[in-house]
Structure 1
Amino acid sequence: MKKIAVLTSGGDSPGMNAAIRAVVRKGIFSGLEVYGVYQGYQGLMQGQIKKLEVGSVGDIIHRGGTMLYTARSEEFKTDEGQYKAISQLKALGIEGLVVIGGDGSYQGAAKLTEKGFPCIGLPGTIDNDIAGTDYTIGFDTALNTVVDAIDKIRDTATSHDRTFIIEVMGRRAGDIALWSGLAGGAETILIPEHPHELEEMMERLNSGISRGKKHSIIVLAEGVGSADDLAGELMGKFGLETRISVLGHIQRGGKPTGRDRVLASRLGAKAVELLLEGKGGRAIGIIKEQIVDLDLQEIAGKKDPLPENLYILSQELSI
């Protein structure tokens, strides 16, 4: 193998640039030519591919987002679009592709591998909803962003005797809500993996009020519902007035934490090593602090269960 390429796809996450940097520099160190694909799978089909040098990825390890940009593509989901993408790569003599992204990106990489083009998947998403890895690139940064916001909101919640609902990202996964709620000392954490009852929530809030607690924090994963809807239900059924903070895309931005930078660097380097070994169709992750690679087709479309012990702990500590 002499030439490889790297792209980012789907939603951006802090640490993607560190992963790109690792792929490029590990590849060049190993004697490969490395190409960057701009605008994800859409750009791949359009031939937006450029050779990268060592200096091309200088001063990006600390930056959020992705220097290769990203886009979503309906056309790429078709066989015709996938063959078009492969033809663009083969026209430049590129023999392997590293894909950094979430579940949709993994499914795309699996499709290319099925059609005979070797791909390696790196888990780049703040939601931490990729199977085969304990942590995804960007999760730690997003977690710390949310915890910082909770800490600041708690200050004003205390000053005004308020109950705040903080809505965080996580359509199908409650990892951000669970980890940030536990770290931020939230009284209630609502996640898609566990049903909730308003009456039980109010019992928990009233218990705090009865012992003189001046504020309450509810962390809500967007997959459960909107903060506006929850606020309306609490007011309508219990007369509880709340304030809302929807953190939104602030969770995706910012400088990646040291942990995300190191994780991205380790995973990116491993991707190059696998391609040099002639291996494709692999998904790289970290399990119990060890770098692992698993079958990409088995990983795509799946999510590991949420750590049940963390949810139980959050319930026990929020009494």
Structure 2
Amino acid sequence: MKKIAVLTSGGDSPGMNAAVRAVVRKGLYLGLEVFGVYRGYTGLMEGEIKKFDLGSVGDIIHRGGTMLHSSRSEEFKTEEGQRKAIDQLMSHGIEGVVVIGGDGSYRGAQKLAEYGIATVGIPGTIDNDIPGTDYTIGFDTALNTIVDAIDKIRDTAMSHEKTSVIEVMGRDAGDLALWSGLAGGAESIMIPEVSIDIGGIVDKIQKGIERGKKHSIIIVAEGSTSGVEVVKQIKNRMNLEPRVTILGHLQRGGKPTGFDRVLASRLGAYAVDLLTDNQVGVAVGIEQNKLVHYPFDKILGKPHQINTNMFELASQLSI
């Protein structure tokens, strides 16, 4: 293998730039030609491909977002779109592609593999919802962003003796809500993996009030319900005026933490090693601090698992 490319696809996550840097520099270190593909699969179809050198990825390891930009492409899901992408890769002589993204990005990489392009996927998403890895790139940064927001909201909730409902991202996974709720000392956490009766949350708030507690924090994962709906249900059940904060895309931005930079660097370099060793059609990850890889077939469609022990711990500590 002499020429490889790297692209980022789907939602951006802090640490993607560090992963791009690792892929490019490890490739160059091994004597490969490395190309950057701009705007994900859309850019791949349209030929937005540029040869990179060492300086192309200088001064990006600490930056959030992705310098390659990203997009979601409906056209690439079609056979015509996929053939456009293959033609572009062939015209540049590119034999292998590293795809950084989430579930949808992996499905695109799998399609490229079916056309004979060597592919390796790197898990880049704040949702931490990709099987085959303990952590995805960007999760730790987003987690710390949320915890910082919880701390600030708790200050004003305490000052005004209010119950605050905070809605966080995560798509259909509750990791961001669970981890941030535990780290932020939330009184209640709502995640899609566990069915929670709003009545139980109301009872906990009421018991807190009876023992003199003046404020509460409720973390709501977007995949379970909406923060606005939770506030509405609480107001219908008790004489309380909760406030709601929807953090939204604030959670995707910011400088990646040291953990995410190291994780991205390790996974990026590992992806190149696998390409040069012809271990392709796989997704890389980290389990118990060891680098691992699994075929896309064993990753895609596999249900996300929550740490039930951690959820139980959060419940125990919030009595």
Using the size of structure 1 for normalisation, the TM-score is 0.98
Paired residue secondary structure (1:140)? helix
Equivalent residue, structure 2, for 1:268: 268
Distance 2:269 2:170 in 1: 28
Equivalent residue, structure 2, for 1:299: 299
Deviations 1:104-141 (A, max 9, x none): 00111111112211110000000000010000000000
Give the paired residue count: 319
Deviations 1:225-274 (A, max 9, x none): 21111111111222321001110101000000000000000000000001
The answer as to 2:159 corresponding to 1:188 is no
Tell me which amino acid in the other structure corresponds to 2:147.
V
Distance 2:170 2:101 in 1: 15
- Indicate conservation of the 8 Å contact 2:166/2:219, yes or no: yes
Distance 1:170 1:239 in 2: 31
- Indicate conservation of the 8 Å contact 1:18/1:60, yes or no: yes
Equivalent residue runs for 1:63-102 within 5 Å: 63-102=63-102
Paired residue secondary structure (1:181)? helix
Deviation, 1:301, is: 3.0
Distance 2:303 2:7 in 1: 22
Equivalent residue runs for 1:202-241 within 5 Å: 202-241=202-241
Deviation, 1:81, is: 1.2
Equivalent residue runs for 1:67-146 within 5 Å: 67-146=67-146
Deviations 1:43-76 (A, max 9, x none): 1000100001100000000000000000110010
Equivalent residue, structure 2, for 1:253: 253
- Indicate conservation of the 8 Å contact 2:102/2:123, yes or no: yes
The answer as to 2:8 corresponding to 1:8 is yes
Distance 1:303 1:20 in 2: 28
Deviations 1:200-226 (A, max 9, x none): 111111121122111100000111121
Distance 1:168 1:82 in 2: 34
- Indicate conservation of the 8 Å contact 1:13/1:124, yes or no: yes
For the aligned residues, what is the CA RMSD?
A: 0.8
Deviation, 1:38, is: 0.2
Distance 2:218 2:18 in 1: 33
Equivalent residue runs for 1:304-315 within 5 Å: 304-315=304-315
Deviation, 1:6, is: 0.1
Paired residue secondary structure (2:81)? helix
Distance 1:198 1:273 in 2: 49
Deviation, 1:196, is: 1.2
Paired residue secondary structure (1:128)? coil
Equivalent residue, structure 1, for 2:281: 281
Deviation, 1:90, is: 1.0
Distance 1:301 1:70 in 2: 23
Paired residue secondary structure (1:56)? helix
Segments of structure 1 that go 5 or more residues without pairing to the other structure are: none
Equivalent residue, structure 1, for 2:199: 199
Distance 2:298 2:107 in 1: 10
Segments of structure 2 that go 5 or more residues without pairing to the other structure are: none
Equivalent residue, structure 2, for 1:47: 47
